[in-house]
Amino acid sequence: MRKIYKQGILALAISSLLVTSSCDNVESLNTNTKAYTTPIPEALMTSAQVSHNYFLHNADVNNNNFRKYVQQWGARAYKDEDQYNQAKRDLGASYYSSLYTGVLGKLYESKKLIQEKETFSAEEVIAKKNKLAIIEIQVVNAYMTLVDLFGNVPYTEALDLEKYPTPKYDDAKTIYLDLAKRITNAVNSLNTSVGSFSSADLIYDGDVAKWKMYGNSIKLKMGLHLADVDATKAKQLVEEAYASGVISSNADNTVMKYLDKEIEQNPLYASLVEESQLIPTSFLVDNLNAKEDPRRDFFFDPATKIEGKYKGFLYADGEGAFDLFSSQGTALKKKDTEGVIFDYSETSFLLADAASRGFSVGNTAAHYYEQGIKASMEYWGVADADVTTYLARPDVAFATATGSTKQKIAEQLWIAYYNRGLESWTEYRRLDFPVLTAPKSAVAESEGKVPVRIIYPSSVRVRNAANYADAASKIGGDKMTTKLFWDKY
């Protein structure tokens, strides 16, 4: 386990080089934004990006089990997570720490310092607004993630321990609607004629036009999350986002650029190379084999075929030596493999869903469905001829594939989201496909179902007991089987 933990330590080491915090209580519900002692706003923003991307891209059993929840990868050891035991490692506490302390606290302090910084020229004024808008986009995304994990969470009273030592939990939908306003204002305030953070921005290197596309793409996703519970608002958000411009090519993808250096490597490297505990599941491998999906040679290592075929591991209940199964592709086992945050295939499938609901997004569900598959295959390096052959298959083509429109979109989206566990799990919960079955060994608390929520950290039950009890009651119980407000079906 030391090698797995090392990635978290390295992320914190990067943070400590950039900014020092005198109060970092990882068990608290929020972070004290007044505690930072080194006022470097750009460094704080950089550190927040490092923390957020570690949360998204690592595969540490203590920090990120979402690839397992969608049954794309399983583990030979550390079976608790495959069996949905959220309590043993207190996963909720890890996610609270990552997002409140590691991301939001730093972003808010960076925002405060930028606001206080004096500007002189007209260009400096615009650049300052751009920086604040870019921070706001990241804040919105972090809060949206918290809601998508837990439901009701601290929001209006978060991030100030001195004033609110026991913050209340705000209603999840109310938070979403406020975030929708904030993302709209942030995107609209961006001015692409002037720069922003430059090299302090590890994602887009300060490219304001790309931040605008990313912000709109978040808004697009937010709108579709609301589609089953507030169709009118969903339509408004989706159509506004589309009109303003979303990610529309792989060149626009939102990614974290990692380097071939130990302290700056993709955290996934530790789990796949240094630990070698994670194996592609038979559910995933068999699905791709059945359709002769050309992405197999990129998702998996061709050198690990078993008797000429890719072979997966039975999720949660599988046994056998590591070399009896196919392993992840070599592209994922490099220190400098980029980490995808949002990409072209994602916007394409979201637009397919939007079009299927009658929203005005410029084309049909069939068009965007096909575009999503093409975008995914282009990203992974599949040859054009193989893409054409795949799309022509009766079990893939939009007109002839089995199932409802929602099922077709969801099942192809699930494949395109390979190695993007959190987003894959979120869309699985929202769209209800593919059909996943809980393993026989799943903990009793799962009630025989795949989890649809993360339970709150154990510490809040004591430290913020009254607000915890109120939140648990309002969402329908602090259980992994409690559906979020947008998960209607």
Instruction: Read off the tokens for 188.
Output: 């609209």
Beta bridge partners of 255: 340
In a domain, residue 313? The reply is no
Specify the pLDDT at position 318.
85
The answer to whether 263 and 10 have CB atoms below 8 angstroms apart is yes
Measured distance CA(327)–CA(323) in Å, rounded: 8
Measured distance CA(271)–CA(474) in Å, rounded: 37
How many domains does the structure of the chain reveal? 1
Interval 235-288: pLDDT, tens: 999 999 999 999 999 999 999 999 998 889 999 999 999 887 899 999 999 999
Q: Per-residue pLDDT averaged across 339-353, rounded?
A: 99
Q: Where are the alpha helices (DSSP H) in 275-420?
A: 282-290, 296-299, 344-356, 365-380, 384-391, 405-416
Instruction: Compute how many other C-beta atoms are within 10 angstroms of the C-beta atom of residue 488.
Output: 11
Specify the pLDDT at position 120.
87
What percent of the chain has pLDDT above 90?
86
Closest CA to 82 of 301, 274, 319, 286: 319
> Which region among 76-85, 180-189, 248-257 has the lowest average model confidence (pLDDT)?
76-85
Which residues neighbour 164 within 8 Å (Cβ) at sequence distance 6 or greater?
30, 154, 157, 158
In a domain, residue 307? The reply is no
| Eight-state DSSP code of residue 104 | I
Instruction: Read off the tokens for 175.
Output: 């938070």
Residue 429 predicted with pLDDT over 70 = yes
Cα dihedral 335, 338, 341, 347 in deg (nearest 10): -150
> Which region among 18-32, 39-53, 350-364 has the lowest average model confidence (pLDDT)?
18-32
> Which region among 72-81, 370-379, 417-426 has the lowest average model confidence (pLDDT)?
72-81
User: Which pairing describes strands 254-256 and 339-342: parallel, antiparallel, or unpaired?
Assistant: antiparallel
The answer to whether 378 and 351 have CB atoms below 8 angstroms apart is no
Q: Where are the alpha helices (DSSP H) in 226-305?
A: 231-244, 268-269, 282-290, 296-299
We report the CATH number of the domain holding residue 110 as 1.25.40.390
In a domain, residue 422? The reply is yes
Residue 15 predicted with pLDDT over 60 = no
Q: Per-residue pLDDT averaged across 154-167, rounded?
A: 97
Residue 301 predicted with pLDDT over 50 = yes
In a domain, residue 286? The reply is no
Q: With cut-offs at 50, 70 and 90, classify the pLDDT of residue 39.
A: low
Q: With cut-offs at 50, 70 and 90, classify the pLDDT of residue 67.
A: very high
Look over the chain and give the mean of its residue pLDDT values, rounded to a whole number: 92
| Eight-state DSSP code of residue 75 | E
Amino acid of residue 349: F
Amino acid of residue 125: V
Q: With cut-offs at 50, 70 and 90, classify the pLDDT of residue 152.
A: very high
Measured distance CA(152)–CA(458) in Å, rounded: 16
Q: Which residue has the higher pLDDT, 78 or 445?
A: 445
Q: With cut-offs at 50, 70 and 90, classify the pLDDT of residue 321.
A: confident
For 131, list phi and psi in degrees, rounded to 5. Answer: -60, -45
Residue 27 predicted with pLDDT over 80 = no
Measured distance CA(4)–CA(91) in Å, rounded: 15
The answer to whether 252 and 210 have CB atoms below 8 angstroms apart is yes
Instruction: Read off the tokens for 1.
Output: 């386990």
In a domain, residue 278? The reply is no
Residue 32 predicted with pLDDT over 70 = no
Specify the pLDDT at position 101.
97
Q: Per-residue pLDDT averaged across 37-65, rounded?
A: 90
Interval 385-407: pLDDT, tens: 999 999 999 999 999 999 999 99
Closest CA to 328 of 340, 307, 310, 342: 310
Q: How distant, in Å, are the alpha carbons of 54, 163, 307, 343 from that of 10?
A: 10, 32, 40, 26
Which range of residues forms the domain containing residue 101?
41-256+337-475
The answer to whether 432 and 442 have CB atoms below 8 angstroms apart is no
Measured distance CA(303)–CA(326) in Å, rounded: 8
Beta bridge partners of 74: 279
Interval 114-139: pLDDT, tens: 999 988 899 999 999 999 999 999 99
The answer to whether 443 and 415 have CB atoms below 8 angstroms apart is no
The whole-model pTM stands at 0.93
Residue 12 predicted with pLDDT over 70 = no
Q: Per-residue pLDDT averaged across 473-479, rounded?
A: 99
Q: Per-residue pLDDT averaged across 361-387, rounded?
A: 99
Q: How distant, in Å, are the alpha carbons of 89, 184, 269 from that of 276?
A: 20, 43, 9
In a domain, residue 324? The reply is no
If you write DSSP's letter for every residue of 163-198 in order, what string do you get? T-SSPPPBPHHHHHHHHHHHHHHHHHH--TTS---G
In a domain, residue 369? The reply is yes
Closest CA to 87 of 457, 471, 468, 485: 457
| Angle of helix 208-225 versus helix 231-244 axis, rounded to 10 | 160
Measured distance CA(403)–CA(448) in Å, rounded: 25
The answer to whether 424 and 148 have CB atoms below 8 angstroms apart is no
The answer to whether 409 and 356 have CB atoms below 8 angstroms apart is yes
Q: With cut-offs at 50, 70 and 90, classify the pLDDT of residue 35.
A: very low
Alpha-carbon Rg for the chain in angstroms:
22
Closest CA to 421 of 140, 7, 145, 100: 145
In a domain, residue 344? The reply is yes
